[in-house]
Amino acid sequence: MVDHYEFANLFLRYDLKVDEWSALPSEELSKLIGERWKTTGVRFMSTNHIIMSFMFVFSAALKGKSLFMPLRVLLTGKLHGPDMGSSVILIYKAGNHGVVARRTGTYRDCLPPSRFPSPLLYALIPRRRLPSPPSAPPEMESHHRRSNTSSVRSHKPTRPIALDDDSTKASDALPLPLYLTNAFFFTLFFSAVYFLLCRWREKIRSSTPLHVVTFSEIVAILASVASFIYLLGFFGIDFVQSLVLRPSADVWASEEDEVENEVLLRNEDARKVPCGQALDRSLRSLPPSATIVTAEKVFDEMRMKVMSEEDEEIIRSVVTGLTPSYSLESKLGDCRRAAAIRREALQRLTGKSLSGLPLDGFDYESILGQCCEMPVGYVQIPVGIAGPLLLDGREYSVPMATTEGCLVASTNRGCKAIHLSGGATSVLLRDGMTRAPVVRFGTAKRAADLKLYLEDPENFETLSVVFNRSSRFARLQGIKCAIAGKNLYLRFSCFTGDAMGMNMVSKGVQNVLDFLQSDFPDMDVIGISGNFCSDKKPAAVNWIEGRGKSVVCEAIIKGDVVRKVLKTSVESLVELNMLKNLTGSAMAGALGGFNAHASNIVSAVYIATGQDPAQNVESSHCITMMEAVNDGNDLHVSVTMPSIEVGTVGGGTQLASQSACLNLLGVKGASKESPGANSRLLASIVAGAVLAGELSLMSALAAGQLVKSHMKYNRSSKDVSKAASS
């Protein structure tokens, strides 16, 4: 077995094989040690070793490290991998700074009582002088000589310490090993307290005075008091002192302590038997400005700033799987700190850098519990402005978050053409979010019975009252059913105010299903959503029946504007629209895709305003129509979009950036005058932006300018390979 001071010295010098270890930060060295000794540990030969290890590990624990570390040392008498990093550094630094006695002296002679966590521990340390260690093996001596350089001659080299057993016995301090002594006093304290509580309960029941005690009760009282004093002296005194005196966060790095310890060392070196002779301090030290590259430092300059020792311990816990990554926010109470720790743990697990993903500059509290789980940063997407879009007599500057070149410019050109032609008009046809659960019965007849019950107008009022309890804005509009054998699909449609409304309608549907269970006890609810809604999937039911907001937007573009701004003709646009958007889409078997690129504009506006980007699937259902009017001189263009799913409250709309974009459009938050007005206006603006985008892209295709414009605006002139390597 290895003495722990010997182990600290030899581990740092020979196992790490890093001559510049003294210049490394404690966090870097601690991580290296923990990685090397994950599964193994060093068991101490005597009670003295356990006591000394516990003192410094416990002191570190009270100053911000894990309280489980000293308990593991006490109960097992062994340092394990997770504790190696900090405990070895603490013990070795303590020896170098005059806090721990050297191996050729005694434990107690060199230790002032003020440096102990507890006076009881100071009393437990024996005054016995320990034997000097034998010399090291020849190969270790040769390695030691090779590691010395001229820069280390200021230190007085000594011979390395051998790895043989220590002659000190466990009876030097206590009759039992320390972990057994602690277990004994813990057991004694709780047993005595339990015995006294039971006795006092019996006295209360029998109306016996509590001050009348028996011999066994006196023994129990004395045992509880004695064990309490022992435990208080062992665990409590330094904790109280740390609260009252509030020592420095890192006593080992204190400059004043280092100066004081250097003076003590010089005084001690003048004695006949120097206290620090056993620890080899002949290692080379580097100037503070030197750059140290370790095995753990994977990303060099790209790496995050050095974290505190407490954060480093949490990171190691996440990496080893002891702490779930998803629980960091609740455990730490600091979302920004949790994201930083999770990010660093991810980099260490994968070996990949996240240096290009920003971390700072974002309010992580705002997404907790509503937008994103386990964040490690945020993605930057540029936001461009198209417009002004003249729609229904008002001008709107449309924010578009996209990384596709030409998209904002093209939409902006369409807005200009609409504005010069007098603007566009929009009509809202329908406003209702849907949810369709699937239920199953024993027979198809029972499923048909429920279908007839739900579609009976006489039952609608009752169902509406039950449904509307879910929210003060929810209003049930209708229920349509589809049967497949003994399975029934119920498509509920309801008004949801300014919210997109998925959660609102789901709660209302659950209320109705609970209500129907009383009349249809054999109904088996398979799922709250049966895909007859249909959400985030292209579906004919949305194309025909609509979902969310159904909007039609139109404009008449003057012939002069078509020629001068759009650089094409009315006849070319009409012909291209028929052959591309109508015939071409039909040939492809498109479902709701009778347009040029409606999803481009929908996605860009959705991301900028905090909508659900996945609902772009059904929201982009659009048919674009173009027709020559006014004797063929002007162009009538329209877009019909039956399922625009937007909201101005809830979800991503509450984030600062997205909220600013909604405020730009004048639709931020809920409408106080008319519930749902803001979300309906936002849907109309989306349709107007799609109209502008369709008009501009179709013109570019008709004029043969698509490839030319993309080569000009959608191609980077930078050498990406050089930029990545720089």
Provide the 10 A C-beta neighbour count for residue 439.
20
Task: Tally the residues of the chain.
Answer: 726
**What span, in angstroms and rounded, lies between the C-alpha atoms of 483 and 451?**
8
Nearest to 200 by CA among 190, 191, 211, 215: 211
Q: Are 409 and 700 in contact (CB under 8 A)?
A: no
3-state secondary structure of 174: coil
SS3 319: helix
Strand positions, DSSP E, 470-615:
475-484, 487-495, 524-527, 548-557, 593-594
β-strands 593-594, 622-629: how paired?
Answer: parallel
Instruction: Tell me the helix, strand and coil percentages in the chain, rounded to 5.
Output: 50, 15, 35
Distance (Å, whole) CA 525 – CA 516: 11
Note whether 434 and 492 are within 8 A (CB). yes
536 has catalytic annotation = yes
Can you tell me the distance from the alpha carbon of 277 to that of 99, in angstroms, rounded to the nearest whole number?
Answer: 14
From the list 130, 94, 73, the residue with the least C-alpha distance to 5 is 94
d(CA 644, CA 430): 10
Q: Which amino acid appears at position 13 of this protein?
A: R
Of the candidates 144, 245, 231, the residue with the CA atom closest to the CA atom of residue 187: 231
Secondary structure (3-state) at 409: helix
Rg of the chain over all Cα atoms, to the nearest angstrom: 38
Query: Helix (H, G, I), strand (E, B), or coil: what is residue 649?
Result: strand
Nearest CA among 13, 697, 122, 657 for reference residue 412: 697
Give the angle subtended at the CA of 476 by the CAs of 475 and 481, to the nearest 5°.
Answer: 165
d(CA 713, CA 441): 59
Query: Other C-beta atoms within 10 Å of 100: how many?
Result: 25
Query: Which residue out of 19, 257, 258, 404 is catalytically annotated?
Result: 404
Beta-carbon contacts of 442 under 8 Å, excluding residues fewer than 6 positions away, are 486, 522
SS (HEC) of 510-552: HHHHHHHHHHCCCCEEEECCCCCCCCCCCCHHHHHHCCEEEEE
Bridge partners (DSSP) of residue 625 are 638
Q: How many CB atoms lie within 10 A of CB 624?
A: 26
The answer to whether the beta carbons of residues 315 and 347 sit under 8 Å apart is: no
* DSSP, res 370: T
> Would you give the end-to-end CA distance of the chain in angstroms?
51
State yes or no: cis peptide before 388, omega within 30 of 0: yes
Closest to 423 (Cα-Cα) out of 577, 601, 553, 552? 553
d(CA 248, CA 251): 6
Q: Please confirm, yes or no, whether 144 is among the known catalytic residues.
A: no
* Whether 3 is catalytic: no
Alpha carbons 56 and 407: distance in angstroms, whole number: 64
Buried-exposed string 578-593: b where 16+ CB fall within 10 A, e elsewhere: eebbbeebeeeebebb
Who contacts 169 (Cβ-Cβ below 8 Å, separation ≥6)? 46
Catalytic residue among 27, 28, 83, 612: 612
Q: DSSP code of 302?
A: G
The one-character DSSP state at 104 is T
Of 536, 567, 580, 636, catalytic:
536
- Per the DSSP assignment, residues forming a β-bridge with 499 are 649
* Residue 297 among the catalytic residues: no
Residues catalogued as catalytic: 404, 536, 612, 710
